[in-house]
Amino acid sequence: MKASNDQKIQEMLEKGFMHDSQQSFENDDLLYYKQLFQALDAGQESGLPENFAAKVTKKIQKATYQKQDMWFALAIILIFAVTFGTAYLVLRLINPDAGNQFYEINIRFKYVIILGVLTFLGIFYDKGKVWN
């Protein structure tokens, strides 16, 4: 193909000169260009799926919500710990024997309390994975 011929074919394609008869073509170059552009247009269709952005956004939101849920769970555990500590101090100030009994009961059931805390954290951590 010659440079002047290429420019002429490009101008014909841009102007929309698309006759189906072979007689209108000076040579097969225009047909080759037409097939090339059709192949390039078909190649653009195969890319990322249409809902790619929605999937990425959903995944980021899920991770953010999971992180917020974990902070919420840790805040709840901290509130319970402060409540138990405050209850112990108040009982100790009012009646030292009642404070000691409260402490002994909590120490006796320490494994149940630890298991409850770990279960609570596990539910919040695993909530996004299991249910969604």
d(CA 99, CA 93): 8
Mean pLDDT of the chain: 75
Q: How many domains does the chain have?
A: 2
User: Which residue has better confidence, 111 or 25?
Assistant: 111
Tell me: do 28 and 80 sit in the same domain. Answer: no
pTM of the model: 0.48
Range of lowest pLDDT (32-36, 38-42, 44-48) = 44-48
| Same domain? 21 vs 81 | no
Which DSSP symbol is given to 127?
H
The verdict on 18 and 77 lying in the same domain is no
77 and 38, same structural domain? no
Tell me, yes or no, whether 11 and 75 share the same domain.
no
Q: Report the C-alpha gap between 84 and 68 in whole angstroms.
A: 24
Is 13 in contact with 37 (CB distance < 8 Å)? yes
Shared domain for 118 and 63, answered yes or no, is: yes
Same domain, 82 and 28: no
Quote the pLDDT of residue 97: 92
Please tell me whether residues 61 and 104 are part of one structural domain: yes
3-state secondary structure of 126: helix
How far is Cα 98 from Cα 107, in angstroms, rounded to an integer? 14
pLDDT at 107 over 70: yes
Both 34 and 73 in one domain: the answer is no
Q: What is the DSSP code string of 43-103? A: HHHSSS-TTHHHHHHHHHHHHHHHHHHHHHHHHHHHHHHHHHHHHHHHHHHH-HHHHHHHH
71 with 110, same domain: the answer is: yes
Of all residues in the chain, what percent carry a pLDDT higher than 90?
A: 21
* pLDDT band, residue 23 (cuts 50/70/90): very low
Identify the band that residue 109 occupies on the pLDDT scale cut at 50, 70 and 90: very high
pLDDT for 26 equals 53
Which residue range forms the structural domain that includes residue 86? 52-131
For the stretch 45-73, pLDDT in tens is 556 677 777 888 888 888 787 777 778 87
